[in-house]
């Protein structure tokens, strides 16, 4: 009897956990993802208004500030990471994030659209509390290319400005549709 009960509990735990993850992904998507198109729109408007060099502060200050503000509202942590960073202090992924970004590149190469790539996992931390980690790929769009595209096509004055602030810039050479990096979220459970 005991064994049967234990067995049923185990059977229930499997599918329930998978459902939990789907529900958490959905909820995280709904609450966090609207920030991403806002940044793209702000970038497009600022480039149109002030030119490309004038739009540097959008990626440098506005995007991180928007993410931080939304994360604080939600009580989560949110930032951008990349395998090829422009700002290594802010954008360097940890081991789990590096593995997910590498998997995103493989999934994109196998035909999945970059804009739909996501992953979510429940993790137990060292202190025993649980956390949901989520990542969503950030694809390269047309407006990104002037600062993250082929270095040969980056305007000389802009290049000089980027070189000055980012002597270790790895974030060029991207083509439209590639994965620039990801939004990464830590959500306490």
- Binding positions for ligand HEC, rule: CB under 6 A: 40, 43, 52, 55-56, 59-60, 80, 82, 85-87, 90-91, 138, 140-141, 143-144, 146-148, 171, 180-181
Alpha-carbon span 179 to 137, nearest angstrom: 6
Three-state DSSP class for 164?
helix
Alpha-carbon span 96 to 24, nearest angstrom: 18
For the bound state, the minimum distance from the C-beta of residue 127 to ligand HEC, rounded and expressed in Å, comes to 29
From the centroid of its chain, how far is CA 129? 24
Q: Which is nearer to ligand HEC, 21 or 158 (CB)?
A: 158
For the bound state, the minimum distance from the C-beta of residue 46 to ligand HEC, rounded and expressed in Å, comes to 8
Count of beta carbons in the 10 Å neighbourhood of residue 46: 19
For the bound state, the minimum distance from the C-beta of residue 132 to ligand HEC, rounded and expressed in Å, comes to 21
Q: Which is nearer to ligand HEC, 54 or 188 (CB)?
A: 54
For the bound state, the minimum distance from the C-beta of residue 118 to ligand HEC, rounded and expressed in Å, comes to 15
Q: Which residues contact 21 (CB under 8 A, 6 or more apart)?
A: 120, 121, 122
């Amino acid at each position: 009897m005991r064994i049967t009960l234990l067995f049923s509990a185990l059977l229930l735990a499997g599918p329930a956990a998978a459902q939990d993850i789907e529900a958490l992904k959905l909820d995280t998507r709904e609450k966090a993802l609207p920030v991403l198109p806002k940044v793209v729109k702000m970038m497009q408007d600022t480039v149109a208004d002030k030119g490309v060099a004038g739009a540097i502060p959008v990626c440098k200050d506005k995007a991180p500030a928007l993410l931080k503000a939304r994360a604080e509202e939600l009580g989560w942590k949110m930032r951008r990471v990349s395998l090829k960073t422009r700002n290594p202090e802010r954008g360097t992924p940890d081991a789990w994030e590096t593995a997910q970004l590498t998997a995103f590149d493989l999934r994109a190469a196998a035909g999945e659209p970059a804009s739909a790539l996501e992953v979510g996992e429940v993790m137990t931390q060292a202190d025993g509390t649980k956390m949901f980690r989520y990542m969503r790929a950030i694809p390269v769009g047309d407006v990104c290319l002037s600062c993250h595209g082929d270095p040969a096509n980056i305007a000389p004055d802009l290049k000089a400005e980027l070189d000055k602030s980012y002597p270790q810039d790895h974030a060029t050479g991207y083509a439209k549709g590639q994965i620039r990096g990801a939004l990464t979220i830590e959500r306490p459970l």
